[in-house]
Amino acid sequence: MPATSLDQIVALAKRRGFIFPSSEIYGGLQGVYDYGPLGVELKNNIIADWWRTNVYERDDMEGLDAAILMNRLVWKYSGHEETFNDPLVDCRTCKMRWRADHIHGVCPNCGSRDLTEPRPFNMMFRTQIGPVADSGSFAYLRPETAQGIFVNFANVLTTTARKLPFGIAQVGKAFRNEINPRNFLFRVREFEQMEIEYFVMPGTDEEWHQRWLADRLAWWEQIGIPRSRITIYDVPTTELAHYSKRTFDLMYEYPNIGVQEIEGIANRTDYDLGSHSKDQEQLNLTARVNHNEDSIARLTYYDQASGRHIVPYVIEPSAGVGRCMLAVMCEGYAEERTKALPVEKLAAASEALQAFLKSVGRSEKLSGEARDAILARGEALSQALAERLPEVEQLLAMPGADQIELGKKLRGQVQPLIDEHYRTVLRLKPRLAPIKVAVFPLKRNHEQIVATAKAVRRQLQAGGQMRTVYDDTGAIGKLYRRQDEIGTPFCITVDFDTIGQGKDPALAGTVTVRDRDTMAQERVPIAELEVYLREKVMS
Ligand code: GAP
């Protein structure tokens, strides 16, 4: 079962070094996050998979890496200066600011309905170029990577001699001054996009739009999000972005956040190439473009068949890396029992839970709202305690729960049970996993076992493809659990048999390989390890 609460992912991400709040030692920066040692590996693996699928495995794609800073005129003619706005309202009672379309007329902070009229707020960040701050020296941080592709259309076309249809892929940072960044990586002010602008003959755009929809759905499935967990939202005309003829939003059901956009696939028509072109009146454009007096180029394509210069239509699949990573982690997350709980221990935990809930019910320290929330969650938990015992931690982390003295007793009762009988596992596709293989010595102070384990690590890492780590910081069971929760698909243990000092001489030169998902263990000769693992870790 995927994560049931975003808190599970936030806690894991922090605990194990996937994600840190930006500038944390100075109180953080709202809506900005840093990717830690494991986060950067997972993010890079997602991007590499996207690039491989969309660039290397097709024969109609080129790559690009355009600069973040661009001439300000790009944003004038793209329409972003004029239209890249969110509706902003102020609460007159508590002075908080909100996006009008997110709050249904009620301030989420204080409940007041005394709000200002919505007014447009442009989400582009400004920065200054050069030493003199005047009206001509500012630039924007790009709010989408797409425009870097459009303004390079002619450069790519002439240097690659591509014929339509073809696409340009780009991965890079985008910045949006979101009014209310929230929900962890979901809505942030600095993020990465993986975007494709696919140029087609006008008239074939609708067919290509459908083909890209199918291709993108296949990719989400390939990285571990089942087709059944994605819904397609055919965006109604009234909600379409200013450049779009039609857009399919792919929606994923995040815990707590609900069904939300993970990728947009838009038909941008000839709007962008047309808007960035000179001599627009001679180009037979269909989109209502921005009149351009500054461009020095016609962004057209010479169609040999008709002998005419045309402006291609564009299909744009655009996905956020952070939203993707969050979905992949939610989907792969599981807390599961690894062995049966002794009946008497379960009964004692159940008793401690009931005593805690009784105390919550009687407490005068808690607000009514906090009490009801804890009781509701606690009751639900007690219905299936054996399956859901690890959720006691979340119960005890709920607002107000720390005020209940019996909470400590409950924690003391269940924690050892959780440690011994449950595990958290991140069932990532192996090729996305931050670490592919972890190598453990059965005894960390045995010279030969340690030397052999380190040699195995070096041998596997030498190929360059399998991120392999050595770990001797605990007992084997604990080390397995640490790797399970970060998604490492294989753990290798070097023991006395490996070095020829065990009970079975036939096992000399072999190690135990343990599979993350099945927890099954197999003896594999060291000499065959690389071949044994190579395909599996790239699956
Ligand atoms: N070039 C088209 C474009 O930018 P978009 O729907 O605004 O379209 C595309 O953004 C994707 O970028 C979204 O589907 C989402 O995955 C990601 N994204 C957009 N705004 C984001 C934000 N504030 N935080 C995180 N990801 C965001």
Encoding tokens for residue 466? 């399998």
Tokens 């902003």 sit on residue = 88
Q: What is the mean pLDDT of residues 293-315?
A: 97
Strand partners, 122: 85
Q: What is the DSSP letter of 230?
A: E
User: Alpha helices of 313-405 — where are they, by DSSP H?
Assistant: 321-332, 343-362, 368-383, 385-388, 392-396
Q: Are 438 and 472 in contact (CB under 8 A)?
A: no
Dihedral of CA 219/222/227/229: which sign? negative
pLDDT, tens digit, 9 for 90 and up, residues 511-526 = 999 999 999 999 999 9
Query: What's the CA-to-centroid distance between 418 and ligand 1, angstroms?
Result: 38
Handedness of CA 526, 528, 531, 535 (dihedral sign): negative
10 Å Cβ neighbour count for 4? 15
- β-strands 490-494, 437-441: how paired? parallel
Tokens of 72: 């300000």
Q: Cis link prior to 165 (omega < 30° from 0)?
A: yes
pLDDT tens digits along 381-390: 999 999 899 9
Does 270 sit in the ligand 1 pocket, CB within 6 Å? no
What is the structure's pLDDT at 419? 87
Name the residue of 175, 188, 196, 261 to mutate for ligand 1: max ligand atoms within 8 A of Cβ: 261
pTM value > 0.85? yes
Average the pLDDT over 306-326 and give the result. Answer: 97
> In the structure encoding, which two tokens stand for residue 442, read together?
């059965």
Which three-class secondary structure state does DSSP give residue 255?
coil
Q: Is the CB of 193 under 6 A from ligand 1?
A: yes
Dihedral sign for Cα 268, 271, 273, 276, please. Answer: negative
Exposure class string for 134-157: b at 16+ Cβ within 10 A, else e: eeeeebbbbbbbbbbbbbbbbebb
Torsion angle of the four alpha carbons 490, 41, 49, 512, in this order, in degrees rounded to the nearest 10: -10
For ligand 1, whether the C-beta of 148 sits within 6 Å is no
pLDDT number for residue 446: 97
Q: Is residue 262 within 6 Å of ligand 1 at its C-beta? A: yes
- Region 275-285 average pLDDT: 97
Q: Say which residue the tokens 């399919």 belong to.
A: 248
**Helix residue spans in 161-293 (DSSP H):** 205-222, 271-275
Look at ligand 1, atom 16, and give the residue with the nearest C-alpha. 320
Which tokens is 517 given? Answer: 């998902």
The rounded distance, in Å, linking the Cα atoms of 174 and 521 is: 44
Residue 367 to residue 371: CA distance in whole angstroms: 6
**Cα of 319 from ligand 1 centre, angstroms:** 6
pLDDT tens digits along 345-382: 999 999 999 999 999 999 999 999 999 999 999 999 99
Q: Over the chain, what is the mean pLDDT?
A: 95
Collect all residues with Cβ–Cβ distance below 8 Å to 478 and sequence separation of at least 6: none
Q: Which of 323, 324, 326, 328 to mutate to test the pocket of ligand 1 (most atoms within 8 A of CB)?
A: 323
Instruction: Note the pLDDT of residue 394.
Output: 86
Q: Is 142 in the pocket of ligand 1 (CB under 6 A)?
A: no
